[in-house]
Amino acid sequence: MRSTHDHGTTDNIGDVTDATRATSALSTPVTARNRRRLTAVAAGVTAALALGGLSTVSAHDADSTDSARSESTRTAAAGSATAARLAVETTPIGFGAGTTGGGNATATTVISLDAFKTAVTGDKAKVVKVSGLFSLTGQVDIGSNTTVLGVGSGSGFTGGGLRLKEATNVIVRNLNLGKPRKPSDAITVQKSTRVWIDHNTLSADRDHDKDYYDGLLDISHGSDNITVSWNRFADHFKGSLVGHSDNNASEDTGHLKVTYHHNWFANVYSRIPSLRFGTGHFYDNYVQGAETGVHSRMGAQTLVENNVFRDTEVAVTTSRDSDIDGYAVLRGNDLGGAATEVSQTGGFTTPPYAYTAEPASSVVASVTAQAGAGKL
């Protein structure tokens, strides 16, 4: 049964345990699937030879229903893909491409919350390094043309978070953002464009009521051109909301274009992500212990590619909680036994940017080794 009363920022978690689990209507003939795999492999080999081992094509290998390769082959593929990642990305891949933040501005290192608040204001180009873990009530507004970078593996904020409101060209990297008390998210993005959220650890706990904390990363009010990469989301009910309300079509339609890649969602109950109206590319992510993963609603278009799901009830749904279903295309995923509820197959199959989607067989090794703060 679909709930129709969730038009705000909180999903009805009780509905997530609905006993009706529809499986995806998507199916690919074996011959077509084999042709697609062979084409992708051939292209990947050619690109690898040209670039010394790094493929620059999208890898569309088979879904979990076609996973008859031997364990030794899987292990070798995982090791090879992990070794191929020679360096941490210095620029965003995906819809957030072109985001530069503070660029080459001289960095300012802050060692107090007050100094941080002062350093991130205004729209002049700036790089602000956070040294230390600071308690925070509410949120700190981040100005445009800003890079916020944590120092080491333990710097960041707890109790509140950061807000990007009517900002553009912002990078947030290598921070620990923990236990954001409601109504604060760990990171809020509103009416903002060109944003890169990379290599952060965002977490809370599951010991309190689901509304005790707010979201870990919420993107709303027509925000656009955002990449969320190599982050660890952990121990939370509400992971990442894109589009805050069913009633906000006039502001959100045509916007909310977000790429999620190589993120690790560990013990996050839902919203991985929940996307209204926008366009989402979700590839090479590792999802553990979710009730629902990707949630496409209110006409949103999602491409769900080469992800791994473990201990998850429903990997992808397009038919919950809103009056209008979303759309989804699934390819190359390892569902790990999770159900899918795809009521509408989408038309978003080719992202408008260059990217490399490594096969699902290597995702767990890559993501667990490199996602989160302290990995830069």
Rg of the chain in Å (alpha carbons): 20
341 to 297, 316, 317, 319, 320: CA distances (angstroms): 12, 6, 4, 7, 9
Determine the residue type at 161.
Answer: G
User: In the beta sheet, which residues pair with residue 275?
Assistant: 242, 296
> Where do we find the tokens 């990947």?
44
Q: Which residues are catalytically annotated?
A: 271
10 Å Cβ neighbour count for 130?
25
Residue with tokens 């909180």: 10
First CA to last CA across the chain, in angstroms? 44
- Quick check: 342 and 26 in contact, CB under 8 A? yes
Nearest to 273 by CA among 294, 251, 249: 294
Burial 275-292 (b: 16+ CB within 10 A, else e): bbbbbbbbbbbbbbbbbb
Amino acid at 276: R
Angle at 41 between CA 339 and CA 29, to 5 degrees: 45
Cis peptide leading into residue 183 (ω within 30°): yes
